[in-house]
A and B are shown apart, each in its own frame.
Chain A
C-alpha cells in the first residue's frame, strides 16, 4: 500500500506542477492554434531565474513572479519573430529555444559566480538552508509526511495550479482575453474590430511561455536543483496533458477547460506513475511519454471527427 500512496503523492505533485505548463499551451495551442516549441527553453529559463533568485535569498514567491516575467519576455520574442518577421510558427519556437540554451547556460554560470566565457558551474543546488516555497510560511507549517503524502509540496503545487487556473479563467473573460480568443478563432474579426491581430498573438505566446516558466520554477522547487536538462520533453508533456484533458473531459458540461487541463495533467502523470509501479525502468519514460501523446492525438482526432459529423 505504501508504495502506491507514495507514488500517488508524486503523481499529484507533478500533475499540478505541469498543469501550469499545459494551461499555457491551452492559450498558445488550443486558442491561438500555434504549435509553440519555445517552451523547451522557457521552462528551463523559469527554473534558472527561480533557482538563482531563491539562492540569493529573494522571497521565493517573488522569484516565481520573476520566472513568469522571463517566460513572458522570451515568449514575446517568439511572437515577434512570427508576426513581424513572418517566420513559420515551428521555426520561431526552434530559433528561440535554441538561443535560450546559451542564454540559460550563461545565466546559470554567471549567477553562480563564473564568467561570461562559460567557465564555471552549470548547475544550481538549492541546499538545505535556502528558503524555498516549502520552507517558508504558510507551507512550512504543514507536515512533510502525512500517510506518505508530502503535504508541504502538495499544498504549494496545488495552490499554484489553482491560482493559475483562476487567473486564466478570469483573464479569458476580460476584453483583452476575449479578443485573444477571437484572434485564434477568426483573425479577420480582430482586424474588423480595428485591432492589430498580431498584438493579440504576441500576447498569447508571451502568456503561454510565462506559464511554462512558472512550471519550470516549480520543477526546480520540487527537485531542489537546476540542471540544463530540465527543458527536455516539455513540449510533449505540455501538449499531451492538454490534449488528454480536453478529450477525456470534453463532454462534461460546465467544466472549465482549465479544470480539464489540470485533470489531463494528472492522468498523464498517473500513466507514468503506473508504468513505474509496474517496474518499467525510468530510462524508458520518454518512450512511454511519446506513446501516450500519440494515443492522445489519435483519440482526440477521432472525437473531433465525430463532433464534426454531428455538426454538419
Chain B
C-alpha cells in the first residue's frame, strides 16, 4: 500500500539543521493496522505528514500502491486518505453544523458546484453514521460543531474521515487531547470502524497500551529510525513491560 524508498528529510532551524530521516525506508501492507510509537521528535508525526503530503521529502520516493506520489500535493492525496488530527478543532468546521460538515464530506472527490449542499434525503443516513459512536450526536444534527465537546468533535471527525471510500486512514494522536474515559470510547469506536471497513490504518499514539491492544503491527521510532517493528504473532507476544523497557532505555540515552 505505502512504500518509503530511501527518504531523506531535514528541518532547518535558525542556526542548525536537524537531519531527521536519512535513507529511510518503510513498507505498509494493504489492510494492516499499524500503531506507531516513539518519543517527541522521533519522527512519528513527520512520517504521517510525509504520507499525507503536508511535508515533502528532500529526496527519495513515496509510493502508493506502487505509484509514485512523491510530488503529488496534499489536497490531491486527500482523495484517498482520511485523516484525524490530535486537535479536535482540526477535523471539522466549527462554524458549520454537523449536517453541513457531513454534507461537505459526503461530496468528497466530486465537484463542488452550484447545487444545494445539503441533500435532505441523506440526513437519515448521516444520523445513522453518527449514532454508531454512541455520543448522542444524532440528536444535535443542526448544532454548530464549535459548541460540541472535544470528544464529540473527535468522534465526528472520525466519522467524517471515513465517509467516502478511502484507501488509508491516518490517525495522528487522535485521542491525546481527550479525557481518559472519552479517549477509551474514541479508541474503541476507531477499532470498530477500522475492523468494519478493513481499511489500511496508520495510528500515531503516545499510549503504549493502545499500541499493543489495537492493530496488527507495532512500530517504535527513535531519531528518525525504526527501533522496533513487530507484526502478527510476534506483536501479540509483546508485553507492555518489554515495550516500556525499550522506550525507557532510549529515553535514558538521550539524557531525559
Residue B104 lies at the interface, judged by CB distance under 8 Å to chain A: yes
- Which of B78, B112, B147 is within 8 Å of A191, CB to CB? B78
Is B76 a contact of A194 with CB atoms below 8 Å?
Answer: yes
Which residues of chain B come closer than 8 Å to A186, judged between CB atoms? 89-90, 92-94
- Which of A174, A175, A189 is within 8 Å of B93, CB to CB? A189
Q: Say how far A280's CB is from chain B's closest CB, in angstroms.
A: 39
Report the bound CA distance from A181 to B109 in whole Å. 18
Which residues of chain B come closer than 8 Å to A188, judged between CB atoms? 85, 90
- Which of A175, A192, A197, A311 is within 8 Å of B115, CB to CB? A175
Residue A302 lies at the interface, judged by CB distance under 8 Å to chain B: no
- Which of B76, B94, B107 is within 8 Å of A185, CB to CB? B94
Is B75 a contact of A195 with CB atoms below 8 Å?
Answer: yes
Residue of A186, A192, A197, A311 most packed against chain B (CB within 10 A)? A192
Is B115 a contact of A194 with CB atoms below 8 Å?
Answer: no
Q: Which of B4-12, B95-103, B230-238 contacts A (4 or more CB under 8 A)?
A: B95-103
Is B93 a contact of A193 with CB atoms below 8 Å?
Answer: no
Residue B206 lies at the interface, judged by CB distance under 8 Å to chain A: no
Which chain A residue has the least Cβ–Cβ distance from B117? A178
Report the bound CA distance from A197 to B92 in whole Å. 15
Which residues of chain B come closer than 8 Å to A190, judged between CB atoms? 75
Q: Say how far B76's CB is from chain A's closest CB, in angstroms.
A: 7
- Which of B82, B103, B108, B161 is within 8 Å of A178, CB to CB? B103
Report the bound CA distance from A179 to B106 in whole Å. 12
How does the 8 Å CB contact mask read for A174-206 relative to B, with 1 for contact and 0 for none? 111111011001101111111111000000000
Which chain B residue has the least Cβ–Cβ distance from A198? B75
How does the 8 Å CB contact mask read for B108-133 relative to A, with 1 for contact and 0 for none? 11011111111000000000000000
Residue B79 lies at the interface, judged by CB distance under 8 Å to chain A: yes
How does the 8 Å CB contact mask read for B72-93 relative to A, with 1 for contact and 0 for none? 0111101100110100011111
Residue B228 lies at the interface, judged by CB distance under 8 Å to chain A: no
Is A176 a contact of B113 with CB atoms below 8 Å?
Answer: yes
Which chain A residue has the least Cβ–Cβ distance from B87? A188
Residue A173 lies at the interface, judged by CB distance under 8 Å to chain B: yes
Is A194 a contact of B75 with CB atoms below 8 Å?
Answer: yes
With A186-B90, A189-B91, A194-B108 as contacts: A178 and B147 at CB distance below 8 Å: no
Report the bound CA distance from A62 to B96 in whole Å. 36
Residue B105 lies at the interface, judged by CB distance under 8 Å to chain A: yes
Which residues of chain B come closer than 8 Å to A196, judged between CB atoms? 73, 75
Is A193 a contact of B104 with CB atoms below 8 Å?
Answer: yes
Is A185 a contact of B75 with CB atoms below 8 Å?
Answer: no
Which residues of chain A come closer than 8 Å to B78, judged between CB atoms? 191-194
Is A178 a contact of B104 with CB atoms below 8 Å?
Answer: yes
Which chain B residue has the least Cβ–Cβ distance from A183? B93
> How many residues on B have C-beta within 8 angstroms of the other chain's C-beta atoms?
36
Which residues of chain A come closer than 8 Å to B116, judged between CB atoms? 173-175
Which residues of chain A come closer than 8 Å to B118, judged between CB atoms? 173
Is B89 a contact of A178 with CB atoms below 8 Å?
Answer: no
Q: Say how far B237's CB is from chain A's closest CB, in angstroms.
A: 37
Is B96 a contact of A175 with CB atoms below 8 Å?
Answer: no
Which residues of chain A come closer than 8 Å to B95, judged between CB atoms? 181, 185
With A191-B78, A193-B78 as contacts: A182 and B93 at CB distance below 8 Å: yes
Residue of A176, A185, A194 most packed against chain B (CB within 10 A)? A194
Which residues of chain B come closer than 8 Å to A178, judged between CB atoms? 96, 100, 103-104, 112, 117
Is B112 a contact of A194 with CB atoms below 8 Å?
Answer: no
Report the bound CA distance from A171 to B161 in whole Å. 26
Is B104 a contact of A179 with CB atoms below 8 Å?
Answer: yes
Is B147 a contact of A175 with CB atoms below 8 Å?
Answer: no
Which residues of chain A come closer than 8 Å to B107, judged between CB atoms? 175, 193
- Which of B91, B101, B109, B117 is within 8 Å of A174, CB to CB? B117
Is B75 a contact of A181 with CB atoms below 8 Å?
Answer: no
Task: Kindly identify, within residues 185 to 244 of chain A, every residue whose CB is under 8 Å from any CB belonging to chain B.
Answer: 185-186, 188-197
Q: Say how far A301's CB is from chain B's closest CB, in angstroms.
A: 18
Q: Say how far A117's CB is from chain B's closest CB, in angstroms.
A: 44
Task: Kindly identify, within residues 253 to 275 of chain A, every residue whose CB is under 8 Å from any CB belonging to chain B.
Answer: none
Q: Say how far A29's CB is from chain B's closest CB, in angstroms.
A: 14
Report the bound CA distance from A188 to B157 in whole Å. 12
How does the 8 Å CB contact mask read for B213-233 relative to A, with 1 for contact and 0 for none? 000000000000000000000
How does the 8 Å CB contact mask read for A102-128 relative to B, with 1 for contact and 0 for none? 000000000000000000000000000
Which residues of chain B come closer than 8 Å to A177, judged between CB atoms? 117
Q: Say how far A204's CB is from chain B's closest CB, in angstroms.
A: 13
Per CB-CB distance, the 9 closest pairs between chain A and chain B, nearest first, are: A178-B117, A194-B78, A194-B79, A185-B93, A175-B112, A179-B112, A185-B95, A175-B117, A191-B75
Q: List 20 extra interface pairs beyond A191-B74, A193-B105, A311-B147, CB under 8 A.
A: A173-B117, A173-B118, A174-B114, A175-B107, A175-B112, A175-B114, A175-B115, A178-B100, A178-B103, A178-B117, A181-B93, A181-B95, A181-B96, A182-B93, A185-B96, A186-B92, A189-B91, A189-B92, A189-B104, A190-B75
Name 8 A/B residue pairs within 8 A (Cβ), A-sorted: A175-B113, A176-B112, A178-B96, A178-B117, A182-B96, A189-B101, A192-B83, A193-B105
**Chain A interface residues (CB < 8 Å from chain B):** 171, 173-179, 181-182, 185-186, 188-197, 311
